[in-house]
Structure 1
Amino acid sequence: MGRGRVELKRIENKINRQVTFSKRRNGLLKKAYELSVLCDAEVALIIFSSRGKLYEFASTSTAETLERYQRCSFNPQETNAERETQSWYQEVSKLKAKYESLQRTQRHLLGEDLGPLSIKELQNLEKQLELALVQARQRKTQLMMEQMEDLRRKERQLGDMNKQLKIRVSLEMSTLEAEGQGMRGLPCPWNSGESAAGGGGFHLQLPPSQQVDTIEPQPVLQMGYHDYDIGEGSSAPRSMDLDNNFFQAWTL
Protein backbone atom coordinates (compact mmCIF):
# COMPACT_ATOMS: atom_id res chain seq x y z
CA MET A 1 0.00 0.00 0.00
CA GLY A 2 1.17 3.52 -0.75
CA ARG A 3 1.95 6.11 1.77
CA GLY A 4 -0.91 8.38 2.66
CA ARG A 5 -1.04 12.09 2.14
CA VAL A 6 0.67 14.03 4.90
CA GLU A 7 -1.17 16.98 6.30
CA LEU A 8 0.94 20.16 5.98
CA LYS A 9 1.01 21.71 9.39
CA ARG A 10 3.50 22.26 12.17
CA ILE A 11 4.54 19.08 13.87
CA GLU A 12 3.91 19.52 17.53
CA ASN A 13 6.16 16.66 18.69
CA LYS A 14 9.66 18.01 19.00
CA ILE A 15 11.42 14.72 18.25
CA ASN A 16 9.27 13.99 15.21
CA ARG A 17 9.80 17.53 14.01
CA GLN A 18 13.60 17.19 14.23
CA VAL A 19 13.56 13.84 12.41
CA THR A 20 11.36 15.22 9.65
CA PHE A 21 13.65 18.28 9.30
CA SER A 22 16.75 16.10 8.86
CA LYS A 23 15.12 13.87 6.24
CA ARG A 24 13.56 16.69 4.24
CA ARG A 25 16.73 18.81 4.42
CA ASN A 26 18.88 16.04 2.98
CA GLY A 27 16.33 15.42 0.26
CA LEU A 28 16.17 19.13 -0.63
CA LEU A 29 19.97 19.38 -0.83
CA LYS A 30 20.06 16.30 -3.02
CA LYS A 31 17.40 17.71 -5.35
CA ALA A 32 19.30 21.02 -5.63
CA TYR A 33 22.49 19.20 -6.55
CA GLU A 34 20.71 17.09 -9.16
CA LEU A 35 19.06 20.23 -10.66
CA SER A 36 22.39 22.03 -11.00
CA VAL A 37 24.09 19.05 -12.63
CA LEU A 38 21.32 17.86 -14.92
CA CYS A 39 20.09 21.29 -16.11
CA ASP A 40 23.38 23.25 -15.83
CA ALA A 41 21.63 25.77 -13.58
CA GLU A 42 23.11 28.10 -11.01
CA VAL A 43 21.58 26.96 -7.73
CA ALA A 44 22.14 28.35 -4.24
CA LEU A 45 20.30 26.89 -1.25
CA ILE A 46 20.30 28.41 2.24
CA ILE A 47 18.57 26.70 5.17
CA PHE A 48 18.36 27.86 8.78
CA SER A 49 17.09 25.41 11.38
CA SER A 50 14.81 26.34 14.25
CA ARG A 51 17.87 26.57 16.46
CA GLY A 52 19.55 28.98 14.00
CA LYS A 53 21.98 26.50 12.44
CA LEU A 54 22.95 27.23 8.80
CA TYR A 55 22.85 24.70 5.99
CA GLU A 56 23.72 25.81 2.47
CA PHE A 57 24.46 24.53 -1.01
CA ALA A 58 25.74 26.43 -4.08
CA SER A 59 26.65 25.18 -7.50
CA THR A 60 29.22 28.00 -7.99
CA SER A 61 29.43 30.46 -5.08
CA THR A 62 26.77 31.56 -2.66
CA ALA A 63 28.05 35.17 -2.56
CA GLU A 64 28.10 35.51 -6.36
CA THR A 65 24.64 34.00 -6.64
CA LEU A 66 23.30 36.39 -4.02
CA GLU A 67 24.86 39.38 -5.76
CA ARG A 68 23.32 38.30 -9.02
CA TYR A 69 20.00 37.87 -7.26
CA GLN A 70 20.22 41.39 -5.85
CA ARG A 71 20.94 42.88 -9.28
CA CYS A 72 17.96 41.12 -10.81
CA SER A 73 15.50 41.66 -7.98
CA PHE A 74 16.10 45.44 -7.52
CA ASN A 75 14.14 48.13 -9.37
CA PRO A 76 15.45 48.43 -12.95
CA GLN A 77 15.55 52.25 -12.74
CA GLU A 78 17.61 52.16 -9.56
CA THR A 79 19.86 49.56 -11.14
CA ASN A 80 20.40 51.73 -14.22
CA ALA A 81 21.09 54.79 -12.07
CA GLU A 82 23.57 52.84 -10.01
CA ARG A 83 25.28 51.51 -13.12
CA GLU A 84 25.41 54.99 -14.63
CA THR A 85 26.86 56.41 -11.42
CA GLN A 86 29.47 53.70 -11.32
CA SER A 87 30.29 54.29 -14.99
CA TRP A 88 30.72 58.03 -14.39
CA TYR A 89 32.91 57.33 -11.40
CA GLN A 90 35.15 55.09 -13.49
CA GLU A 91 35.26 57.69 -16.27
CA VAL A 92 36.24 60.42 -13.80
CA SER A 93 38.97 58.21 -12.41
CA LYS A 94 40.34 57.58 -15.91
CA LEU A 95 40.26 61.27 -16.80
CA LYS A 96 41.96 62.21 -13.57
CA ALA A 97 44.74 59.71 -14.20
CA LYS A 98 45.12 60.96 -17.77
CA TYR A 99 45.25 64.58 -16.58
CA GLU A 100 47.99 63.78 -14.10
CA SER A 101 49.93 61.96 -16.81
CA LEU A 102 49.64 64.94 -19.18
CA GLN A 103 50.79 67.32 -16.48
CA ARG A 104 53.78 65.13 -15.77
CA THR A 105 54.62 64.95 -19.47
CA GLN A 106 54.34 68.73 -19.77
CA ARG A 107 56.75 69.23 -16.89
CA HIS A 108 59.16 66.82 -18.55
CA LEU A 109 58.95 68.72 -21.86
CA LEU A 110 59.70 71.95 -20.00
CA GLY A 111 62.76 70.37 -18.43
CA GLU A 112 61.28 69.93 -14.97
CA ASP A 113 61.16 66.84 -12.71
CA LEU A 114 63.69 64.93 -14.83
CA GLY A 115 65.31 63.26 -11.84
CA PRO A 116 63.10 60.13 -11.64
CA LEU A 117 63.41 59.44 -15.41
CA SER A 118 65.65 56.66 -16.66
CA ILE A 119 68.07 56.85 -19.60
CA LYS A 120 65.55 55.27 -21.97
CA GLU A 121 62.83 57.70 -20.94
CA LEU A 122 65.22 60.64 -21.40
CA GLN A 123 66.09 59.39 -24.89
CA ASN A 124 62.42 59.14 -25.78
CA LEU A 125 61.89 62.66 -24.45
CA GLU A 126 64.79 63.93 -26.55
CA LYS A 127 63.30 62.33 -29.69
CA GLN A 128 59.93 63.93 -28.96
CA LEU A 129 61.53 67.36 -28.60
CA GLU A 130 63.47 66.98 -31.86
CA LEU A 131 60.34 65.91 -33.70
CA ALA A 132 58.37 68.82 -32.24
CA LEU A 133 61.14 71.24 -33.31
CA VAL A 134 61.10 69.92 -36.88
CA GLN A 135 57.32 70.25 -37.09
CA ALA A 136 57.44 73.79 -35.68
CA ARG A 137 60.02 74.81 -38.31
CA GLN A 138 57.97 73.30 -41.10
CA ARG A 139 54.86 75.14 -39.93
CA LYS A 140 56.81 78.39 -39.67
CA THR A 141 58.13 78.00 -43.23
CA GLN A 142 54.63 77.27 -44.51
CA LEU A 143 53.21 80.38 -42.86
CA MET A 144 56.00 82.55 -44.27
CA MET A 145 55.39 81.20 -47.79
CA GLU A 146 51.67 81.88 -47.48
CA GLN A 147 52.35 85.45 -46.33
CA MET A 148 54.76 86.03 -49.24
CA GLU A 149 52.21 84.71 -51.71
CA ASP A 150 49.56 86.98 -50.22
CA LEU A 151 51.85 90.01 -50.51
CA ARG A 152 52.63 89.16 -54.14
CA ARG A 153 48.95 88.88 -54.95
CA LYS A 154 48.31 92.28 -53.36
CA GLU A 155 51.23 93.73 -55.34
CA ARG A 156 49.74 92.45 -58.60
CA GLN A 157 46.35 93.92 -57.69
CA LEU A 158 47.90 97.30 -56.91
CA GLY A 159 49.82 97.19 -60.22
CA ASP A 160 46.62 96.52 -62.15
CA MET A 161 44.86 99.37 -60.34
CA ASN A 162 47.79 101.70 -61.16
CA LYS A 163 47.58 100.78 -64.85
CA GLN A 164 43.85 101.43 -64.91
CA LEU A 165 44.34 104.83 -63.23
CA LYS A 166 47.04 105.75 -65.79
CA ILE A 167 44.70 104.84 -68.65
CA ARG A 168 41.89 106.93 -67.16
CA VAL A 169 44.19 109.92 -66.63
CA SER A 170 45.52 109.71 -70.21
CA LEU A 171 41.96 109.54 -71.57
CA GLU A 172 40.89 112.57 -69.53
CA MET A 173 43.99 114.54 -70.64
CA SER A 174 43.32 113.75 -74.30
CA THR A 175 39.69 114.82 -73.83
CA LEU A 176 40.75 118.12 -72.25
CA GLU A 177 43.25 118.78 -75.08
CA ALA A 178 40.58 118.13 -77.69
CA GLU A 179 38.21 120.55 -75.96
CA GLY A 180 40.97 123.21 -75.75
CA GLN A 181 41.75 122.91 -79.47
CA GLY A 182 38.07 123.33 -80.27
CA MET A 183 37.90 126.52 -78.18
CA ARG A 184 40.99 127.98 -79.95
CA GLY A 185 39.23 127.70 -83.30
CA LEU A 186 36.34 129.94 -82.18
CA PRO A 187 36.48 133.67 -83.37
CA CYS A 188 37.16 136.29 -80.67
CA PRO A 189 36.03 139.94 -80.94
CA TRP A 190 39.31 141.29 -79.63
CA ASN A 191 41.27 139.29 -82.17
CA SER A 192 39.26 140.87 -85.01
CA GLY A 193 39.81 144.34 -83.54
CA GLU A 194 43.55 143.79 -83.37
CA SER A 195 43.69 142.63 -86.95
CA ALA A 196 41.74 145.66 -88.06
CA ALA A 197 43.93 148.11 -86.12
CA GLY A 198 47.15 146.33 -87.10
CA GLY A 199 48.51 146.36 -83.58
CA GLY A 200 49.36 143.68 -81.02
CA GLY A 201 47.75 145.28 -77.95
CA PHE A 202 44.87 147.28 -76.62
CA HIS A 203 44.71 151.06 -77.12
CA LEU A 204 43.09 153.48 -74.76
CA GLN A 205 40.51 155.58 -76.54
CA LEU A 206 39.82 158.86 -74.81
CA PRO A 207 36.89 161.11 -75.46
CA PRO A 208 37.56 164.06 -77.76
CA SER A 209 37.23 166.48 -74.92
CA GLN A 210 40.01 164.71 -72.94
CA GLN A 211 42.51 164.17 -75.78
CA VAL A 212 45.81 166.05 -75.43
CA ASP A 213 47.90 167.07 -78.40
CA THR A 214 51.27 166.49 -76.79
CA ILE A 215 52.27 164.89 -73.49
CA GLU A 216 55.48 166.14 -71.99
CA PRO A 217 57.34 163.52 -69.98
CA GLN A 218 58.14 164.42 -66.44
CA PRO A 219 61.66 164.08 -65.11
CA VAL A 220 60.61 161.88 -62.17
CA LEU A 221 57.81 159.46 -61.34
CA GLN A 222 55.07 161.38 -59.62
CA MET A 223 52.41 159.49 -57.67
CA GLY A 224 49.67 162.09 -57.84
CA TYR A 225 49.51 165.28 -59.82
CA HIS A 226 51.27 168.70 -60.08
CA ASP A 227 49.70 172.07 -60.31
CA TYR A 228 50.18 173.29 -63.86
CA ASP A 229 49.59 176.82 -65.07
CA ILE A 230 46.80 177.05 -67.48
CA GLY A 231 47.08 179.78 -70.07
CA GLU A 232 44.52 182.34 -70.63
CA GLY A 233 43.77 181.12 -74.12
CA SER A 234 43.01 177.55 -73.01
CA SER A 235 39.49 176.43 -73.67
CA ALA A 236 39.58 173.28 -71.38
CA PRO A 237 38.40 173.65 -67.79
CA ARG A 238 40.75 173.25 -64.84
CA SER A 239 39.29 169.91 -63.76
CA MET A 240 40.04 168.38 -67.16
CA ASP A 241 43.63 169.61 -66.99
CA LEU A 242 44.09 167.98 -63.61
CA ASP A 243 42.82 164.67 -64.99
CA ASN A 244 45.22 164.91 -67.90
CA ASN A 245 48.13 165.61 -65.56
CA PHE A 246 47.23 162.57 -63.42
CA PHE A 247 47.05 160.34 -66.49
CA GLN A 248 50.40 161.74 -67.66
CA ALA A 249 52.07 160.88 -64.37
CA TRP A 250 50.52 157.40 -64.34
CA THR A 251 51.73 156.56 -67.85
CA LEU A 252 55.28 157.25 -66.84
Structure 2
Amino acid sequence: MVRGKTQMKRIENATSRQVTFSKRRSGLLKKAFELSVLCDAEVALIVFSTKGRLYEFSSSSINKTIERYQRNSKDIGISKKTVQEDMQHLKEEAVSMAKKIELIEDSNRKLLGDGLESCSVDNLQQIEDQLNRGLSKIRARKHQLYREKIEQLKEEGRILEEENGKLREKCELQSPNLSIMQQEVPQKQILEVETELFIGPPETRTTVEFMQS
Protein backbone atom coordinates (compact mmCIF):
# COMPACT_ATOMS: atom_id res chain seq x y z
CA MET A 1 0.00 0.00 0.00
CA VAL A 2 1.41 3.35 -1.05
CA ARG A 3 1.50 5.96 1.68
CA GLY A 4 0.22 9.37 0.74
CA LYS A 5 2.05 12.62 1.31
CA THR A 6 1.51 13.98 4.80
CA GLN A 7 -0.04 17.39 4.88
CA MET A 8 1.86 19.95 6.94
CA LYS A 9 -0.84 20.98 9.36
CA ARG A 10 -1.74 20.35 12.97
CA ILE A 11 -3.08 16.87 13.70
CA GLU A 12 -6.44 17.32 15.32
CA ASN A 13 -6.70 13.86 16.89
CA ALA A 14 -4.80 13.90 20.20
CA THR A 15 -3.86 10.20 20.09
CA SER A 16 -2.57 10.39 16.53
CA ARG A 17 -0.73 13.59 17.38
CA GLN A 18 1.01 11.92 20.35
CA VAL A 19 1.99 8.88 18.29
CA THR A 20 3.39 11.05 15.52
CA PHE A 21 5.29 13.14 18.06
CA SER A 22 6.90 10.07 19.61
CA LYS A 23 7.96 8.64 16.25
CA ARG A 24 9.30 11.88 14.85
CA ARG A 25 11.01 12.81 18.10
CA SER A 26 12.91 9.53 18.09
CA GLY A 27 13.87 10.02 14.44
CA LEU A 28 14.98 13.60 15.09
CA LEU A 29 17.16 12.55 18.05
CA LYS A 30 18.66 9.77 15.95
CA LYS A 31 19.48 12.20 13.12
CA ALA A 32 21.10 14.61 15.57
CA PHE A 33 23.26 11.80 16.95
CA GLU A 34 24.28 10.66 13.45
CA LEU A 35 25.16 14.23 12.47
CA SER A 36 27.41 14.67 15.51
CA VAL A 37 29.21 11.36 14.92
CA LEU A 38 29.55 11.38 11.14
CA CYS A 39 30.47 15.06 10.77
CA ASP A 40 32.19 15.65 14.13
CA ALA A 41 29.76 18.50 14.74
CA GLU A 42 28.70 20.00 18.03
CA VAL A 43 24.95 19.36 18.13
CA ALA A 44 22.40 20.30 20.76
CA LEU A 45 18.70 19.52 20.43
CA ILE A 46 15.89 20.65 22.75
CA VAL A 47 12.27 19.56 22.33
CA PHE A 48 9.25 20.32 24.53
CA SER A 49 6.07 18.31 24.14
CA THR A 50 2.61 19.83 24.31
CA LYS A 51 2.48 18.80 27.95
CA GLY A 52 5.74 20.61 28.69
CA ARG A 53 7.95 17.55 28.94
CA LEU A 54 11.60 18.17 27.98
CA TYR A 55 13.54 15.99 25.55
CA GLU A 56 17.11 16.91 24.76
CA PHE A 57 20.27 15.67 23.08
CA SER A 58 23.79 17.09 23.13
CA SER A 59 26.98 15.78 21.63
CA SER A 60 28.96 17.35 24.51
CA SER A 61 27.42 19.57 27.19
CA ILE A 62 24.15 21.21 26.34
CA ASN A 63 24.84 24.14 28.68
CA LYS A 64 28.19 24.87 27.01
CA THR A 65 26.57 24.60 23.60
CA ILE A 66 23.85 27.05 24.62
CA GLU A 67 26.44 29.49 26.00
CA ARG A 68 28.40 29.24 22.78
CA TYR A 69 25.25 29.90 20.80
CA GLN A 70 24.45 32.96 22.89
CA ARG A 71 27.95 34.38 22.44
CA ASN A 72 27.83 33.84 18.69
CA SER A 73 24.35 35.34 18.45
CA LYS A 74 25.53 38.40 20.36
CA ASP A 75 28.61 38.78 18.15
CA ILE A 76 26.51 38.38 15.02
CA GLY A 77 24.09 41.02 16.26
CA ILE A 78 26.93 43.41 17.02
CA SER A 79 28.53 42.72 13.63
CA LYS A 80 25.27 43.37 11.81
CA LYS A 81 24.77 46.60 13.72
CA THR A 82 28.33 47.70 12.99
CA VAL A 83 27.93 46.92 9.30
CA GLN A 84 24.69 48.88 9.13
CA GLU A 85 26.28 51.85 10.90
CA ASP A 86 29.27 51.73 8.56
CA MET A 87 26.99 51.59 5.52
CA GLN A 88 25.02 54.57 6.76
CA HIS A 89 28.22 56.50 7.41
CA LEU A 90 29.52 55.68 3.93
CA LYS A 91 26.25 56.82 2.36
CA GLU A 92 26.44 60.13 4.22
CA GLU A 93 30.05 60.60 3.15
CA ALA A 94 29.15 59.82 -0.46
CA VAL A 95 26.35 62.40 -0.43
CA SER A 96 28.64 65.00 1.14
CA MET A 97 31.41 64.25 -1.37
CA ALA A 98 28.98 64.54 -4.28
CA LYS A 99 27.89 67.99 -3.06
CA LYS A 100 31.52 69.11 -2.71
CA ILE A 101 32.33 67.89 -6.21
CA GLU A 102 29.32 69.74 -7.59
CA LEU A 103 30.42 72.97 -5.88
CA ILE A 104 33.98 72.60 -7.19
CA GLU A 105 32.78 71.96 -10.74
CA ASP A 106 30.46 74.97 -10.55
CA SER A 107 33.33 77.14 -9.28
CA ASN A 108 35.62 75.92 -12.07
CA ARG A 109 32.99 76.72 -14.69
CA LYS A 110 32.65 80.23 -13.33
CA LEU A 111 36.42 80.70 -13.32
CA LEU A 112 36.37 79.79 -17.02
CA GLY A 113 33.66 82.37 -17.63
CA ASP A 114 30.70 79.98 -17.91
CA GLY A 115 27.49 80.14 -15.90
CA LEU A 116 27.96 83.74 -14.77
CA GLU A 117 24.34 84.71 -15.44
CA SER A 118 23.24 83.80 -11.92
CA CYS A 119 26.15 85.62 -10.23
CA SER A 120 25.68 88.88 -8.40
CA VAL A 121 28.13 91.76 -8.37
CA ASP A 122 29.68 90.50 -5.14
CA ASN A 123 30.07 87.01 -6.58
CA LEU A 124 31.72 88.39 -9.70
CA GLN A 125 34.07 90.46 -7.54
CA GLN A 126 35.02 87.35 -5.56
CA ILE A 127 35.71 85.44 -8.78
CA GLU A 128 37.85 88.31 -10.08
CA ASP A 129 39.84 88.46 -6.84
CA GLN A 130 40.35 84.70 -6.96
CA LEU A 131 41.62 84.91 -10.54
CA ASN A 132 44.00 87.74 -9.62
CA ARG A 133 45.40 85.76 -6.71
CA GLY A 134 45.87 82.74 -8.92
CA LEU A 135 47.53 84.83 -11.62
CA SER A 136 49.91 86.36 -9.08
CA LYS A 137 50.95 82.91 -7.88
CA ILE A 138 51.46 81.74 -11.46
CA ARG A 139 53.66 84.75 -12.28
CA ALA A 140 55.67 84.33 -9.09
CA ARG A 141 56.28 80.68 -9.90
CA LYS A 142 57.27 81.54 -13.47
CA HIS A 143 59.79 84.16 -12.29
CA GLN A 144 61.21 81.68 -9.81
CA LEU A 145 61.75 79.14 -12.58
CA TYR A 146 63.42 81.82 -14.73
CA ARG A 147 65.79 82.72 -11.90
CA GLU A 148 66.65 79.09 -11.29
CA LYS A 149 67.34 78.60 -15.01
CA ILE A 150 69.58 81.69 -15.12
CA GLU A 151 71.55 80.47 -12.11
CA GLN A 152 71.93 77.09 -13.76
CA LEU A 153 73.25 78.68 -16.97
CA LYS A 154 75.67 80.83 -14.99
CA GLU A 155 77.00 77.76 -13.21
CA GLU A 156 77.41 75.93 -16.51
CA GLY A 157 79.25 78.97 -17.95
CA ARG A 158 81.58 79.08 -14.94
CA ILE A 159 82.39 75.39 -15.38
CA LEU A 160 83.13 75.93 -19.08
CA GLU A 161 85.44 78.86 -18.28
CA GLU A 162 87.36 76.71 -15.81
CA GLU A 163 87.73 73.95 -18.39
CA ASN A 164 88.90 76.46 -21.02
CA GLY A 165 91.47 77.85 -18.58
CA LYS A 166 92.83 74.38 -17.90
CA LEU A 167 93.07 73.65 -21.63
CA ARG A 168 94.84 76.99 -22.23
CA GLU A 169 97.41 76.24 -19.54
CA LYS A 170 97.98 72.79 -20.99
CA CYS A 171 98.54 74.26 -24.48
CA GLU A 172 101.00 76.84 -23.13
CA LEU A 173 103.00 74.11 -21.42
CA GLN A 174 103.18 72.10 -24.65
CA SER A 175 104.18 75.09 -26.93
CA PRO A 176 107.96 75.22 -26.01
CA ASN A 177 108.31 71.51 -26.71
CA LEU A 178 106.75 71.98 -30.14
CA SER A 179 109.23 74.80 -31.00
CA ILE A 180 112.21 72.62 -30.05
CA MET A 181 110.91 69.75 -32.16
CA GLN A 182 110.48 72.05 -35.18
CA GLN A 183 114.10 73.26 -34.87
CA GLU A 184 115.46 69.71 -34.81
CA VAL A 185 113.66 68.67 -37.98
CA PRO A 186 116.05 69.17 -41.05
CA GLN A 187 114.85 71.32 -43.85
CA LYS A 188 113.88 69.50 -46.97
CA GLN A 189 115.89 70.14 -50.13
CA ILE A 190 113.93 71.58 -52.97
CA LEU A 191 114.92 70.06 -56.30
CA GLU A 192 114.30 71.95 -59.48
CA VAL A 193 113.70 69.77 -62.52
CA GLU A 194 113.93 71.24 -66.00
CA THR A 195 111.70 69.58 -68.51
CA GLU A 196 110.87 70.17 -72.12
CA LEU A 197 107.23 70.44 -72.84
CA PHE A 198 105.84 70.38 -76.38
CA ILE A 199 102.24 71.18 -76.96
CA GLY A 200 100.71 70.05 -80.21
CA PRO A 201 99.74 66.98 -82.22
CA PRO A 202 102.39 64.28 -82.69
CA GLU A 203 102.34 64.70 -86.49
CA THR A 204 103.33 68.36 -86.27
CA ARG A 205 106.23 67.57 -83.98
CA THR A 206 107.52 64.88 -86.36
CA THR A 207 107.41 67.26 -89.33
CA VAL A 208 109.32 69.97 -87.50
CA GLU A 209 112.00 67.55 -86.34
CA PHE A 210 112.39 66.21 -89.90
CA MET A 211 112.82 69.68 -91.37
CA GLN A 212 115.40 70.58 -88.74
CA SER A 213 117.36 67.46 -89.51
Structure showing greater radius of gyration is 1
TM-score w.r.t. the length of structure 2 is: 0.49
Q: Which structure: greater helix fraction?
A: 2
TM-score w.r.t. the length of structure 1 is: 0.42
